[in-house]
Amino acid sequence: MSTPTELLAELISLVTASDKYASISPDLVREIGAKELAKRRNLKEAVKETRNKLHQVGSAFQEKPIPYAAWLEELAQLPVDLQDEQVTATLKRQMGMHASTAERLSILPHFFKDALGSIAPLHSILDLACGLNPLCLPWMPAAADMEYTACDIYADMTGYLNAWFAHFKINGKASVVDLTQSVPSVSVQVALLLKTIPCLDQVDKNAAKRLLQGLYAQYILASFPAHSLGGKSKGMLQNYETRFNQLIEGESWKVTKMEFTGELAFLIEK
């Protein structure tokens, strides 16, 4: 008979044996795995449900594996100029590989200017559960000396983002963080929590509140998707707005609501 610790270790090694989950934060795999082991009848079921949940919060947004090795080679050939046409075209193509940034492409020319123009120029950004959103930097109203901190659950993604920051000489750093278990302690002008609260809610209903309260950010731009990955939108905006209102209940923050095609955003001034 295996001990609970041995079972959890076995679950983690079974789940991360597949390429799809190999570079996901071990902390998140452990967190979800431990909960599933407590709920399910046996190891096999717990492994299956852990994979399902990791798919819902992460892999579902990456329909095809992202070719980071090829992207690194491509990056090395790009001119060091974020406004260069070849660079912006490459970034848009790359953002198309992650569903969340792909959905933002049509509003990219004005989304960040409209949402953050009132507090521009931006000197420091913390991009939480960033996906490929740091690649939107050329479309953000940023100061030349901007400091960019980003995190997500994928080591291959944050590895690429670090190479990207280095190539363009951006003062940026990306790392693997499971936001259901830790709140970044960096102090920033604005934190971005874009389309991520529903993912956190699936693992821990208290994580989003803990994050909003604990962040050292003057402003937080939080957003929700206007439709599901499958394209359904019925009642979603209303549900998300209700969820957001729950999260800010009792806080004396100033909140500005903004509606964009595909995205409902709230700028919080803490």
Ligand X SMILES: C[S@@+](CC[C@H](N)C(=O)[O-])C[C@H]1O[C@@H](n2cnc3c(N)ncnc32)[C@H](O)[C@@H]1O
Residue 228 Cβ vs ligand X, minimum distance, rounded to whole Å: 11
- Output 37 or 197, the one with its CB closest to ligand X: 197
Whether 97 and 60 have beta carbons less than 8 Å apart is answered as no
- Output 189 or 195, the one with its CB closest to ligand X: 195
Whether 180 and 153 have beta carbons less than 8 Å apart is answered as no
- Output 21 or 146, the one with its CB closest to ligand X: 21
Residue 191 Cβ vs ligand X, minimum distance, rounded to whole Å: 11
Contact letters for ligand X, residues 156-195 (x by CB under 6 A): ---------------------xxxx-------------xx
The residues near 195 (Cβ < 8 Å, ≥ 6 apart) are 100, 223, 224, 225, 263
User: Is 94 a residue that touches ligand X (CB under 6 A)?
Assistant: no
Q: Find the part of the chain contacting ligand X (CB under 6 A) among 55-63, 74-82, 107-115, 117-125.
A: 55-63
User: Is 100 a residue that touches ligand X (CB under 6 A)?
Assistant: yes
> Which two structure tokens, joined as six digits, stand for 102?
């792909």
Residue 149 Cβ vs ligand X, minimum distance, rounded to whole Å: 13
Q: Which of 267, 225, 208, 234 is nearest to 61 (CA)?
A: 225
Of positions 46, 115, 126, 130, contacts ligand X by CB under 6 A: 130
User: Is 131 a residue that touches ligand X (CB under 6 A)?
Assistant: yes
Number of residue whose CB is nearest ligand X: 131
User: Is 51 a residue that touches ligand X (CB under 6 A)?
Assistant: no
Alpha-carbon distance of 14 to 96, in angstroms, equals: 30
Q: Which 217-256 positions form the footprint of ligand X (CB under 6 A)?
A: none
Residue 1 Cβ vs ligand X, minimum distance, rounded to whole Å: 32
With CB under 6 A, what is the number of residues at the site for ligand X? Answer: 23
User: Is 149 a residue that touches ligand X (CB under 6 A)?
Assistant: no
Residue 152 Cβ vs ligand X, minimum distance, rounded to whole Å: 5
Whether 100 and 194 have beta carbons less than 8 Å apart is answered as yes
Backbone angles phi, psi at 154, to 5 degrees: -105, 125
Of positions 152, 208, 215, 266, contacts ligand X by CB under 6 A: 152
Alpha-carbon distance of 194 to 263, in angstroms, equals: 9
Of positions 8, 14, 28, 122, contacts ligand X by CB under 6 A: 28
- Using CB under 6 A, list all residues that contact ligand X: 28, 57-58, 61, 100-101, 129-131, 133, 152-154, 177-180, 194-196, 199-200, 203
